[in-house]
Structure 1
Amino acid sequence: MAKYTPMMEQYLRIKAQVPDAFLFFRLGDFYEMFFQDAQKAAEELEITLTGREAGGEERIPMCGVPYHSAQVYIERLIEKGYKVAICEQVEDPATAKGVVKREIVRVITPGTVMEESMLQEEENRFLLALVESEGMYALSAVDLSTGECHVTQTDSPLFFLDEALSYQPKEIVVEQEEQEWLAHFRQRGGIFISPFSLSEELRKRAYQLGVSQLVGFEETCCEPAIQRSLELLLAYLQETQKRSLGHLHRLRSYDAKRYMMLDESARRNLELTTTLSEGKKRGSLLGLLDKTATAMGSRLLKKWLDKPLLDREEIERRQEIVEGFRTDLLGLSGLQEALRKVYDLERLAARVAYGTAHARDLLSLGRSLQQIPRVLEVLSSFQTPEIQAPLAQLDICSDLAEGILEAIVEEPPLSVKEGGILRAGYHAPLDELREIQKNGKTWIASLEQQERDATGIKSLKIGYNRVFGYYIEVTKSNLKHLPDGRYVRKQTLANAERFITSELKEKEQLILHASEKSTVLEYELFVSLRDEIAKHVPRLQRLSEWIAELDVLHAFAVISNIYRYVRPFVHGGEQLWIEEGRHPVVEAASTHAFIANDVQMDGSDRQILVVTGPNMAGKSTYMRQVALTVILAQIGCFVPAKRAQVPLIDRIFTRIGAADDLAGGRSTFMVEMSETCHALKEATNRSLVLLDEVGRGTSTYDGMALAHAIVEYLHHQVRAKTLFSTHYHELIHLEEELSRVVNVHAKCEEQDGKVVFLHKIVPGGADRSYGIHVAELAGLPEPVIKRAKVILTELESGIPDNTGNSRKVELQQMSIFDFLESESGVVRENGSELARDPIEEEVLEELRSWDLLNRSPMETLQWLQELKRKLTE
């Protein structure tokens, strides 16, 4: 191994502690990186790669970033999924003997971000620790930026994966990398997997932290898997953060099965929090509902959408509050205005406990607390008992507000180490030092005038710099006017000389000592104030929880008033009945009146609705609006309908749209079948299943057979309420065969050869698909449309054989390929077999070899025309 300088040996020792992170190594005013870190960082950050001598035979790679702007570069690395270890000088270089001592003070990872600039105001940033132990799967989740911590466990691996993904984690900590279920997360972008070895020493330290800080930790840890996951999480935080985690108080142990489970597919297809097309909040259900006035409320709303309730009593409590708010429009408006002046108490409190809050954070906290009495004043106008109930016991932290606002100036600087933070009168010794500074500066100004008068030099001035302190500056042309003996030369410039006097140096010592002492004292007082507030973080967190819930329920009332939502009756029975239901997001985005539709489902007569009709007729909208209405009802919101009765639904499954999974090596049809399989295996008789065009990704007969079998299985085995949209008209007859299957269809009319979509769901099955009409609306060339209509007419009426006779064939949804080539190798007519002649065999051979997927529609149509010519000549 090469012999390196002592400083570089120190770097290598420290780097060995964090092999999976970029090490930002503090050297003066820069964070430097070396070796492979430098090469990779230069590439990722697009900064210059240089080199330096380090005692070895060759120059080593090096790059660096200024410490004052390092945050920008750290943020870019974290968003790319890397870790960054911050290594600081922990002793004064002026007094250090040998190499300055350095230590890692923090490791920033995708799941442990605390910096305000790197956080999304309206989103949580969760770190998860996942453990599998003795057949149980445990999950611990923490948002370090808010201090919330959640734990749960299950014996179902599929349920475990769905629950973990519901947090949309940025980082997952695991003890071992070989678990098969980790592949489920690696296939998804944006999730960083962090292997972490949990030694016995680390486990003990983590357990002690949990006992000392997390309320209910020991009771929760009676379950071995949960204890292991919590210890893994806390140990990882201790090793990476290396500072107080005092804001981690709120440990929530919950049974995931007490909430509606929405897997990743359901959240995506229903566009709960982001849109399918652009992945943005705008256009999603969250985007519509988010009329919250605070960041805390916005984050809580998203959590509620991810975890709708199965607790009818809690749902009704929320409904009562929404009802109370929406009946008093003036009070609701006043509440909204009051809440808008409340800053993000959760994250402010977390930064206080974490030790990173600056003076502006404390001022924001104080002003927010100062606004709470106004919120209470507005709430007093509402008569609803559920609104009034918590007010009597509410701790509004007025003492903290008073202490902060008495201490911090109106416009404090961002830096906490340069003074100017605390008000005059807050601390008497600090005021004395400030008075010395103030008087000293006045004395300096007075001295300058005295010296001008004494010497007659009008341009004489007294200045200051950090190297020489205070000095008297005189131009060279005026040096002859200076008195002898009193001025001592300090520095010579090109056009002037600088001097000092014993009187000036004496005053300088007094002023500078007061300034330095004042700055140090003010920083100490600020830290003391911050530490004192940190002792009350649990109080602040309880208050922030109440504000967040109040904000979300106020938003429900606002949105219900805007769009005329009604209070649904949520019950424990089986009937799902929605009268004149509407899709909330589509309705809000429409410029014309939304066509409302009814739905009636139960477990006895109407378990499965087979929905037929053409594309563009509103089938998918209808299915989605049923699911969204259920979700809205179970989060306590009112719903877009004239009336609604909603049973408690435990899970919603969706199989909607066509998409492949190239990264996972799955075709569109495989994705379709995988999602359908998940629904069939996991759904219960209390679930809601939405299946859209299942089976269309394969051949007609295969798809029809699968669709038929799936409906039967849902009917006989699962018994979940199901909306089954299909183009296979053959499935309509299932209404006659299965007692709980009912046909409905999207009504259309044909006027002057054009199809008119009425967007109305009515009883019965559709009589045709209108596929060519939809293709015409999409803008396909007129020759293609005309030729398709001719072919369709021939298929429906019969195709001439080579003798000129017409052979009737019942095609229904059979494609031309299925018609010309049956599995038996012959064409059947009225049950009898017809032998093919050589021309037919030639045509079939061409059919077998035609590469349909790599040919354009026009080429295929022209080729079909040629086949027809061969058969009819």
Structure 2
Amino acid sequence: MPQKTKHTPMMEQYFSIKKDYPDAFLFYRLGDFYEMFYEDAIQVSQLLELTLTARNKNADDPIPMCGIPHHAAQGYIDTLIDQGYKVAVCEQVEDPKTTKGMVKREVVQLVTPGTRLAVGETGARENNYLTAVLYIEEQGVYSFSYADLSTGEIKVAILSSVDSLINECESLATKEIVIGSELGEEVTHKLEQHGILLSPHNMLPTDKQEYSSLTLKLESTELIAGATLLISYLQVTQKRRLDHLQKAMSYQPEHFLKMDYYSKYNLELAQSIRTKEKKGTLLWLLDETNTAMGARLLKQWLDRPLVEKDLIVERQDRVESLLNAFFERMDLKERLKKVYDLERLAGRVAFGSVNGRDLIQLKTSLNQVPGIREVIEGINQGQWDSLLVDLVPAYSLVDLIDTAINEEAPLAITEGNVIKDGYNEQLDTYRDAMKNGKQWIAELEAKERQETGIKTLKIKFNRVFGYFIEITKSNIASLPEGRYERKQTLANAERYVTPELKEIETLILEAEEKSQELEYQLFLEVREEVKKEIDFLQKLAKSIASLDVLKSFADISESYHYVRPELVNDRSHLELVEGRHPVVEKVLGSQEYVPNSVMMPEDTSILLITGPNMSGKSTYMRQLALTVIMAQMGCFVPCEKATLPIFDQIFTRIGASDDLISGQSTFMVEMMEANQALRFATKNSLILFDELGRGTATYDGMALAQGIIEYIHEKVGAKTLFSTHYHEITVLEEVLTGLKNIHVGAVEENGKLVFLHKMMTGSADKSYGIHVAKLAGLPDELLVRSSEILAHLEGETPEMSLTEKESVAPVVSEATEQLSLFEDSQENPVLKELKEINLLEMTPMDALNCLFQLQKKL
């Protein structure tokens, strides 16, 4: 809170600015530092480990204060943004030298997690998306939009549910969501649970003309409303023209292969479950791109594989043409390595933050375009026509930068040496004066030494006193009377000036000052000329990015011997001959990996998979999903031959995990994910269920597993891989016509379990759980006892044939009954005693003893 004593004018100014940014740290510019006060200072000093000091230390309540050097501010800002905070950068907007009284200050930019421009190698290869959500009450839908400020991309969609909204936000890995006041408390709470910063905003764009031009291609007022909210927030936070923003484009999630964020997480598409890093993921495998633009586009294609056959085939044709042109592809690779990030360079031009080195990078990139186009034209047989439309050289832009900008331009654009000699006649004149002036100084120094006889006489310069003649105290007596005008006295020397030296100084300093001013203006003129070509540069960037990704697909396909899949529009046939898990194969090597086929002809919708733990069931299931995703991205796939339907959705339940934030157990998460598939899957979907039902009691789990299988078979019809340890339900193959049993082969050799990692027809004879426990190193005594217990249970529990029970009828039929656990044996007194036992009041040991006594009686 403000102190009790009277505020200075500066602090009054600080308060007036801070009140407009209550949810951000205010970096208030004072000279060469950014200062923070009160709560901002206390929090920032802790977050950045800065020394917390005080202003007006002798006041009744001193003002907490901390500060950072302005030249090092970016690193501190990045640290705060990474932790989910906002920073308002307040600058002096008047020259202190020419201003009387308080210098005017304004916030020139509000930096937020969603508007931060990516930095570093990792950031360059990733998008940083800001999203906006507006609830349209009349239709009961959400207008959803997102943008990457650094590239200018804007996309808008209409979403019908909170689940789809959260799924889009998770897929984009957004760190900030701009929300309208109509969104509602329940929805905002769900979004906050996912650790995303919510930024309420209700202001309209200040530049209506820019707003309307950016939303011209949107089809409805609902889409325009969402884009308006997003554009407005960008204008308010960035406080400058955003000429690089592209026209907002609408998209429909159903036009791409749908995968919720649970499925993407389970399949490890972009993040490893174990390490949370890119290594070990499908993205890691596929990323042989040579440009930052290509790397970002690859991630977008991975998030949204295609469902339209013609578009997939177009990509396949292009990959094949590159695959068949080895030398051209190697030439292309070398040229792409010299292409910098055109999208973000265009963004910096529009932002006004581009410097001389950025323009040299732009020139270097544009110089590669003629060669890249020549390579593609050389292999084009019609499949590249649409891409070549925007893959156009920019000779005039290259000539402008080449003529104007120094190859060794410094980072700063206000300190000279940015513009080349010969570009501007007046600038050359100033530079000649500066160069000659230094020669004049050297000649004057030599002349004064000769005439005074003082060999140690020197002419020096500093920013306070300008040029001066310095003579040591021991030589002052040798000076002719009245020759020099005294300027400054030092302990060991005197400093002087002469009319001639003043004249030379004026010429040199005026030339330096005017030279820097002129250079800066010339640079701005060049920047404005480049700015006119932003639209062209963005289209060129998209073409090169697409080419880079397709080249990456060709490289991967060649390196790992992938084949082109045949795509069919219906779900009648799925054939994957000797398929491989692409990531596991890369890690293990092709010599160690055991390939497996997936055969699901028209009459098969479900493969029921049995076999030991660790034998490869989950790998087999993931293998199919990753192959489908790669195929619908347009990439070739890891197998000997593939015929695949085009799927509309993929649902997975692989692995066990608790949702601790929502307070949900593993089994609850399992059932919720299963419910998503059962509710929303179509006959054109792919479902992968791994060990469903294991999170509850045995018979509960078995009943649920059978019920889910029957429901998918009778009601959904989706292609499904279902792995289980419930061997009892493998008899469903006898009554469900679309279900086939397969199992992972395993053999026992000298009491040891050997995994074959090969899928075979039919069901496994047992789970080999104790064998796996032995591999894990459990104590021998425990394993022996477990084997005895297993022998008792298997030997004494009556066999149950599901096909003989009425309950085997599909769970959707009218006569569904609970599974019968025993044959009708009312005459047997042991069974009567067993039925009367109250298991809930028995300890596990009591139950085991009771079972032993019953066994003896039998």
Band of TM-score, shorter chain: over 0.9
Q: Distance in 2 between matches of 1:319 and 1:827?
A: 57
1:21 matched to which residue of 2? 24
Find out whether 1:120 has 2:117 as its counterpart.
no
Q: Indicate the larger mover: 592-601 or 239-248.
A: 592-601
- Residue of structure 1 in register with 2:406 after alignment: 409
Give the whole-Å Cα distance in 1 for the aligned partners of 2:119 and 2:433: 37
- Partners of 2:193 and 2:386 lie apart in 1 by 47
Q: Shift of the alpha carbon at 1:73?
A: 0.6
The corresponding residue for 1:135 is: 140
Query: Which residue is 1:820 aligned to?
Result: none
Question: Equivalent residues in 2 for 1:290-309 (5 A)?
Answer: 290-309=287-306
Structure 1 equivalent of residue 335 of structure 2: 338
Shift of 1:118: 9.2
The answer for the alignment partner of 2:609 in structure 1 is 611
Question: Is residue 828–residue 834 contact of structure 1 (8 Å, CA) maintained in 2?
Answer: no
Q: CA deviation at 1:687?
A: 0.8
- CA deviation string 1:139-198 (max 9, x = no partner): 111000111111111334433332332211121110136343334432223x22111123
2:178 aligned to which of 170, 173, 190: 173
> Is 1:437 the counterpart of 2:416 in the alignment?
no
- SS of 1:337's equivalent in the other structure is helix
The residue type equivalent to 2:35 in the other structure is E
Q: Alignment partner for residue 182 of structure 1, among 188, 195, 208?
A: 188
State the secondary structure of the residue aligned to 1:385. Answer: coil
Matched, 1:360 2:357: yes
Who is 2:693 aligned against?
695
SS of the residue corresponding to residue 721 of structure 2 reads strand
- The question of 1:192 aligning with 2:215 is answered no
CA contact (8 A) 2:307 2:632 kept: yes
Tell me the amino acid that sits aligned with residue 430 of structure 1.
L
For 1:839 and 1:380, the matched residues in 2 are separated by 82
Contact 1:650 1:687 in 2 (8 A): yes
Shift of 1:224: 2.8
Shift of 1:431: 0.9
Report the alpha carbon displacement of residue 510 of structure 1 after superposing the two structures with TM: 1.1
C-alpha distance after superposition, 1:389-445 (max 9, x if no partner): 543664222211121121111111111111111110111111111111111011111
Question: Do residues 211 (structure 1) and 212 (structure 2) align?
Answer: yes
Determine helix, strand or coil for the equivalent of 1:462.
Answer: strand
Change in Cα spacing, 1:440 to 1:486, as seen in structure 2 (3 Å) is same
Structure 1 SS opposite 2:379: coil
Q: Partner of 1:666 in structure 2?
A: 664
Q: 1:53 to 1:627 in 2, by over 3 A?
A: same
Deviation digits for residues 784-833 of structure 1, max 9, x if unmatched?
Answer: 222211221122223xxxxxxxxx544999xxxxxxxxx99x99994556
- Contact 1:106–1:242 at 8 Å: present in 2 too? yes
Q: Partner letter of residue 506 of structure 2?
A: Q
In the alignment, what sits opposite 2:788?
A: 790
- Give distance in 1, aligned partners of 2:582 and 2:530: 43
Preserved CA contact (<8 Å) 2:90 2:105:
yes
Amino acid in structure 1 at the alignment position of 2:86: K
State how 1:156-305 maps to structure 2 within 5 Å: 156-176=161-181, 178-189=184-195, 191-198=196-203, 202-203=204-205, 205=206, 207-212=208-213, 214=214, 217-220=215-218, 222-305=219-302
C-alpha distance after superposition, 1:753-787 (max 9, x if no partner): 11111111111111100111111111222222222
List runs of 5+ in structure 1 lacking aligned partners.
799-807, 814-822, 851-861
Q: 1:313 to 1:559 in 2, by over 3 A?
A: same
Taking the aligned partners of 1:491 and 1:840, their CA distance within structure 2 comes to 112
Asked if structure 2 preserves the Cα contact closer than 8 Å seen for 1:827 and 1:834, the reply is no
Structure 1 counterpart SS, 2:65: strand
CA distance in 2, matches of 1:780, 1:63: 58
Identity of aligned residues (%): 49
Give the deviation of 1:846 after TM superposition: 6.3
SS across alignment from 1:386: coil
Alignment of 1:522-671 (within 5 A): 522-574=519-571, 575-591=573-589, 592-601=591-600, 604-671=602-669
Distance 1:644 1:414, change over 3 A: same
Shift of 1:218: 3.1
2:348 corresponds to: 351
Q: Comparing 240-249 with 48-57, which one deviates more in the overlay?
A: 48-57
Q: 1:455 to 1:842 in 2, by over 3 A?
A: farther
- Within-5 A mapping of 1:812-823: none
Counterpart of 1:684? Answer: 682
Deviations 1:647-681 (A, max 9, x none): 11111011110111112211111111111111111
- Distance verdict in 2 for CA 1:589–1:612, change over 3 Å: same
Equivalent residues of 1:128, 1:140 under 8 A apart: yes
Change (3 A) 1:616 1:393: closer
- Secondary structure in 2 aligned to 1:120? helix
2:48 equivalent among 45, 48, 55: 45
Supply the AA of the counterpart residue of 2:444.
Answer: L
CA 1:611–1:493: 2 relative to 1, 3 Å: same
State the Cα distance separating 1:250 from its structure 2 match. Answer: 3.9
Q: 1:612 to 1:116 in 2, by over 3 A?
A: same
Q: Answer whether contact 1:827 1:833 (CA < 8 A) is retained.
A: no
Aligned position for 2:773: 775
Tell me if structure 1 keeps the 8 A contact 2:171–2:303. Answer: yes
Partner of 2:810: none
Give CA-to-partner distance per residue, 1:596-649, whole Å, 9 cap, x none.
1111225x5211111111111111011001011111111110011111111111
Identify if the C-alpha distance between structure 1 residues 730 and 431 changes in structure 2 by more than 3 Å, giving closer, same or farther. Answer: same
Output the CA distance in 1 between the equivalents of 2:237 and 2:43.
22
- Counterpart AA for 1:238: Q
In structure 2, the gaps of 5 or more residues are 803-817
CA distance in 2, matches of 1:484, 1:866: 123
CA contact (8 A) 2:570 2:645 kept: yes
User: Which residue of structure 2 aligns with residue 459 of structure 1?
Assistant: 456
Shift of 1:223: 1.9
Where 2:753 maps in the other structure, the secondary structure is: strand
Residues 811 and 81 (structure 1 numbering): CA distance in 2 closer, same or farther, change over 3 Å?
A: farther
Kindly provide the CA deviation profile for residues 193-244 of structure 1, in whole angstroms up to 9, marking residues without a partner as x: 111123xxx25x36532223x2xx2341x42321221111011011100011
Correspondent of 1:101 among 104, 108, 133: 104
After superposition, the Cα gap between the structure-2 partners of 1:234 and 1:478, relative to the gap in structure 1 and judged at 3 Å, is same
How big is the shift at 1:384? 3.2
1:622 & 1:747 partners in 2: Cα distance?
13
Check conservation: 2:650, 2:687, Cα contact below 8 A: yes
Assess, with a 3 A threshold, how the Cα gap between structure 1 residues 733 and 521 changes in structure 2: closer, same or farther: same
Q: Structure 1 pair 871/8, CA: closer, same or farther in 2 (3 Å)?
A: farther
TM value normalised by structure 2: 0.93
Aligned residue type for 1:721: K
**Judging changes above 3 Å, is the alpha-carbon distance between structure 1 residues 623 and 331 closer, same or farther for their aligned structure 2 residues?**
same
Query: Cα deviation per residue 1:22-77 (whole Å; 9 max; x = unaligned)?
Result: 00000111111111111111111111111112997411111111111011110000
Paired letter, 1:130: V
1:207–1:757 distance in 2 versus 1, CA, 3 Å: farther
TM-score (norm 1): 0.91
Secondary structure of 2:144's counterpart equals strand
Contact 2:566 2:643 in 1 (8 A): yes
